[in-house]
Structure 1
């Protein structure tokens, strides 16, 4: 009886509003998936209607034209390597700044935070010039290194705040037991960063997997194309193959959507979980 009283008209209204907002956010997905299952004449006639019959020919064509397995593998390699490097570099840098507080480290942290507000468009031309001079152009490794530079600022900022919540006494106990500074970090501190590391990996994966501008500047060879670059090949100067482009977009978005749905609970853990239990 008490539970029934708690379910008020206000709560019901909020639930309905939440469902309506959720459906609004799903409308773009409906248009992409529904129109990817239509022939081009049917798509051009009416984009809002459901397909009369499911047409999977677009997907078979896209699989071949995009060379989807190759593009998928390129995107996967770049995303994984970028995440590994960003997590290692950012966590170690943030730990050093927090545990060895000094004017220099504070200035470095301020520089990282300030770099977050610099728009990419303002530095993309100097980036291409520097990348070409040091041999990073047209290389997956070069693109990964570029992602290190652009992603480390936000990651250091997030790790910096999280490491402050870790009790220093745990590290002091490990030091007394004879652990080296690297041992303290990798055996004690880094495992405690798992909730934040998972959150950072999810955010970086969404960004890197869907990024078009930076790969378009660094990668030139067709065999190095990521999924966004391969999808853009359906848009020419005079023709736009919307039926194929939407099928390619669906194939490209599906892996990252599955990854996000599987890992979304860890975002909540990264926000709410404490660094020490007990």
Structure 2
């Protein structure tokens, strides 16, 4: 018997839904690129229509006006340092917590980090500013790195603990029998097995730090320590708005993070889902 092909409105509806979702996600990129490559005059006349040519002056002027490369250097340093700190510190802390969750001490620490995830930044904004000022860390890269890393720690530990609990303990016990210590066992056995979740959180942490605006606005007030998100201020004045240059700077800013995402995208969904299996 041959199967009859199902026909009807459902395939058409599903196709239209998929097309709507695709357009919803593509639209911001299209708008950004169109405004970035148009001249102000063409933008006024044609709006979101496809550009007739590329107006490269938007990019050169955006770099000059906002001191873009200095901000890009600060963003790279802060992002790389935060990602490295979170990867090393949080994996080790999560390993200890995951293997000792039956203890009241470590169980309490675990739930403390869970509670910290729900803590709004606005609650600690003023005390944080005063503390950093008293410690001499205001308007410094170190202060920005420590602050952003601190706010990302709770989420990273939560995800890492869930993933580590899926790793069989017997593998570590075999290493202990062979005379390996805890430090060696973690870095040589457990850490390599965490590659999917580490790759996933690496991209998510890099994306969060690279696009951070609120924390940077409070801590990095001097021009020499400003990051890329703060450069958008240069294009929005009290009496005029340089919309095309703002989008040009935005397009340049998102290129590195898009490249990182494309290189490691296969790990993101699988890694986060694996870390959420047990918690």
Contact 1:34–1:51 at 8 Å: present in 2 too? Answer: yes
Instruction: Show the 5 A alignment for 1:1-278.
Output: 10=10, 13-101=13-101, 102-271=103-272
For 1:160 and 1:183, how far apart are their aligned partners in 2?
19
Structure 1 range deviating more: 33-42 or 143-152: 33-42
TM-score, normalized by length of structure 2?
Answer: 0.91
For 1:105 and 1:6, how far apart are their aligned partners in 2?
56
Q: CA deviation at 1:231?
A: 2.3
For 1:4 and 1:22, how far apart are their aligned partners in 2?
31
Q: Give deviations 1:31-67, integer Å, cap 9, x for gaps.
A: 1110111111222334222223221110111122222
Residues matched between the structures, number: 274
SS at match of 1:233: helix
Q: CA deviation at 1:144?
A: 0.7
Give 5+ residue unaligned stretches, structure 2. Answer: none
Q: CA deviation at 1:14?
A: 2.6
Cα 1:95–1:2 change in 2 (3 A) is farther
Q: Give deviations 1:88-131, integer Å, cap 9, x for gaps.
A: 11111111111123101111111100111111122111111111
Q: CA deviation at 1:8?
A: 8.9
Contact 1:31–1:47 at 8 Å: present in 2 too? Answer: no
SS at match of 2:235: coil
Q: CA deviation at 1:6?
A: 8.8
SS at match of 1:153: helix
TM-score, normalized by length of structure 1?
Answer: 0.91
Q: CA deviation at 1:189?
A: 0.7
Structure 1 range deviating more: 164-173 or 213-222: 213-222
Cα 1:96–1:6 change in 2 (3 A) is farther
Give 5+ residue unaligned stretches, structure 1. Answer: none
Root-mean-square deviation over aligned CA pairs:
2.3
Q: CA deviation at 1:212?
A: 1.0
